[in-house]
Each structure stands twice: as C-alpha cells, then as structure tokens.
C-alpha cells in the first residue's frame, strides 16, 4: 500500500538511528580527515540536518546510504576548505584518492562488518566471546586452546554454543529498524 512512500522518522527512531550509527560514522569521517573531534562535529551536523529537513527514507539501507554519503561529502568539503584556509599542504592527489568510489565502499564494508561482529560478540558469554574473537583472527582450534589454556573439546563445544546463539540473530543481521517496508509489495 505504502511501499514506496518515504518514511519520516519519529524522535524515538531518530534517537535509535543515532545510537546505532553515530560511532561508525565518526570512525568513517575520521578515515577521510584523520581528526576524530572534527569528525564528530561533521556527523552531528549531518544528523541535525536529517531532522530539520524532515528527510524521508524508504528503508534502512536508504538511511545508511544517505548518512554515509553525506558524511563523506562533508568530510571532503572540510579537507578542501582546510587546504585553502591554512598552510596545510595536504596533497591534492590524496584528496583525489579519497574521492574514489572504491575508497568509500571499502570503508563502509569494514565499518559495517566490524560493527555487526562487535554487536554479535557482545551478546555472547565471556568465554564464547573470547574464542570467537580469536577465531576471527584466524586462530585454529588448537591455537585457541593453547592461548586460553583450555582443551580443544572445550573450544569446539563453546564454538557450537556460539553458533547456535548467533544463527537466529544473524538471520536478520541486527536490523536497525526491525521492520522495514516490504518493497516487493
């Protein structure tokens, strides 16, 4: 019925959006400008604009795409103006590199993936979490067992527990706004 209608966030959803994405977006801006405090200001400005302009969204990816793109543009603007205003001799070729789509996309992948992983691991009991962290760093079961001074069977059993707990969560990948319009409607 309203599948393609743009959806305006309520204050509560807006706050949730901030809660979920603010940190990742700050790190994202930091990749461009290498200044975390300045990055925070940029991301806050982007959020304020979303509210004040009543920006509407169709779905969760649409929101993310908007936020990442806006933060990227603002970061690049900042770099360019800084180059003009100060004696900072940030090479223009560097800026050109930052402006490429592949730079943008790969940073999004790194932040989105690590964010999902962190959130997932945080739902696990301590021991499980430690084991999964090591396994992501490509430790074998034997290496994990040695590192944590436990038996291989414990490692395997804990991994099994972790997978069982994570699977239903990963099915929907910690969706930001749990319900989105069904676009096939």
Partner 1 sequence: MTIFNKIITLSKQIASSLLEDKGFSVLEKSELFDKVNKEYIIKNLTDESLIKRRLRLINQVNKKKDWKKVKSKIDVPVRSIYWKYAVAALLLIGGVITLFINQPGDIQRFNDPVIVNNKILPGEGKAVLTLETGEVIVLGKGVDIKTENASSNGKELIYNNDPSEKLTYNFLTVPRGGQFQLTLSDGTKIWLNSESQLKYPVSFNNTQSRQVELVYGEAYFDVSSSTKHNGLNFKVNHNKQEVKVLGTEFNIKAYKDESNIYTTLVEGEVAVSVRGINKVIKPGEQSNFNSILNTIEVSNVDVFREVGWKYGAFSFKHKPLKEIMVVLSRWYDMEVIFENKRYENVTFNGTLYKNQSIEEVLMLIKGSINSYEINNKTLILK
List contacts with partner 1 (CB under 8 A): 1-2, 5, 7-8, 10-13, 15, 18-19, 22-23, 26-27, 30, 36, 40, 44, 47-48, 51-52, 54, 56, 61, 64-65, 68, 101-102, 105-106, 108-110, 112-114, 116-117, 120-121, 132, 135-138, 159, 162-163, 166-168, 170-173, 175, 177-182, 184-185
Alpha carbon separation from 127 to 133, 148, 156, 161, 162 (Å, rounded): 10, 9, 12, 11, 10
Q: Supply the minimum distance, in Å, between the C-beta of residue 154 and partner 1.
A: 16
- Of 130, 137, 142, 132, nearest to 164 by C-alpha is 132
Mapping DSSP to helix (H, G, I), strand (E, B) and coil, where does residue 57 land? strand
Separation of alpha carbons 47 and 132, rounded Å: 34
Give me the residues paired with residue 56 across strands.
8
Q: Between 58 and 80, whose beta carbon lies closer to partner 1?
A: 58
CB-based contact 128:163 (threshold 8 Å): no
**Smallest gap, in angstroms, from Cβ of residue 30 to partner 1?**
7
CB of 24 closer than 8 Å to CB of 117: no
CB nearer partner 1, residue 95 or residue 108: 108
CB of 109 to partner 1, least distance (A): 5
Least spacing, CB of residue 142 vs partner 1, in Å? 14
């Amino acid at each position: 019925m309203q599948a393609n209608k743009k959806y305006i966030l309520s204050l509560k959803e807006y706050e949730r959006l901030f809660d979920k994405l603010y940190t990742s977006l700050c790190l994202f801006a930091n990749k461009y400008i290498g200044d975390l405090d300045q990055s925070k200001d940029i991301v806050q400005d982007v959020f304020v604009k979303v509210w004040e302009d009543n920006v509407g969204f169709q779905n969760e990816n649409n929101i993310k795409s908007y936020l990442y793109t806006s933060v990227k543009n603002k970061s690049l603007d900042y770099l360019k103006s800084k180059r003009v205003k100060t004696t900072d001799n940030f090479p223009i070729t560097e800026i050109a590199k930052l402006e490429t789509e592949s730079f943008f996309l790969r940073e999004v992948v790194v932040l989105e993936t690590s964010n999902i992983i962190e959130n997932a691991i945080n739902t696990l009991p301590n021991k499980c979490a430690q084991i999964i962290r090591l396994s992501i760093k490509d430790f074998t079961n034997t290496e994990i067992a040695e590192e944590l001074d436990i038996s291989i069977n414990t490692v395997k059993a804990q991994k099994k527990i972790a997978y069982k707990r994570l699977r239903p969560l990963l099915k929907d990948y910690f969706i930001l706004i749990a319900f989105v319009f069904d676009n096939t409607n």
